[in-house]
Amino acid sequence: MLLLAGLAFEGVALFYQHVLEEMPCVLCIHVRIWVLALILVSLAALWMRRYRPANLFAHVLTLLIALGLLERSYQLLGTERGFTFSDCGFDLGMPSWFAIDVWFPQMFKVQTSCGYTPELLFGITMAEALMVSSVLLLILSAVMVIAALKNINSAR
Asked if residue 31 lies in contact with residue 6, where contact means CB atoms within 8 angstroms, the answer is: no
- pLDDT single digits (tens) 52-82: 888 889 999 999 999 999 999 999 898 888 7
Query: Over 80: is that where the pLDDT of 96 sits?
Result: yes
Name the pTM for this structure: 0.89
Total domain count for the chain?
Answer: 1
Share of the chain above pLDDT 90, in %: 51
For position 128, which CATH number holds? 1.20.1550.10
> Which structural domain, as residue segments, surrounds residue 77?
2-155
Q: Could you give the 3-state DSSP secondary structure of residue 125?
A: strand
Query: Over 80: is that where the pLDDT of 84 sits?
Result: no
Spatial CB neighbours of 102, under 8 Å, sequence gap ≥ 6: none
Asked if residue 76 lies in contact with residue 95, where contact means CB atoms within 8 angstroms, the answer is: no
Query: Over 70: is that where the pLDDT of 156 sits?
Result: no
Instruction: Spell out the alpha helix ranges (H) of the chain.
Output: 2-18, 26-47, 52-81, 100-103, 105-108, 126-155
Report the distance separating Cα 66 and Cα 134, nearest Å.
6
What pLDDT shows up at residue 42? 94
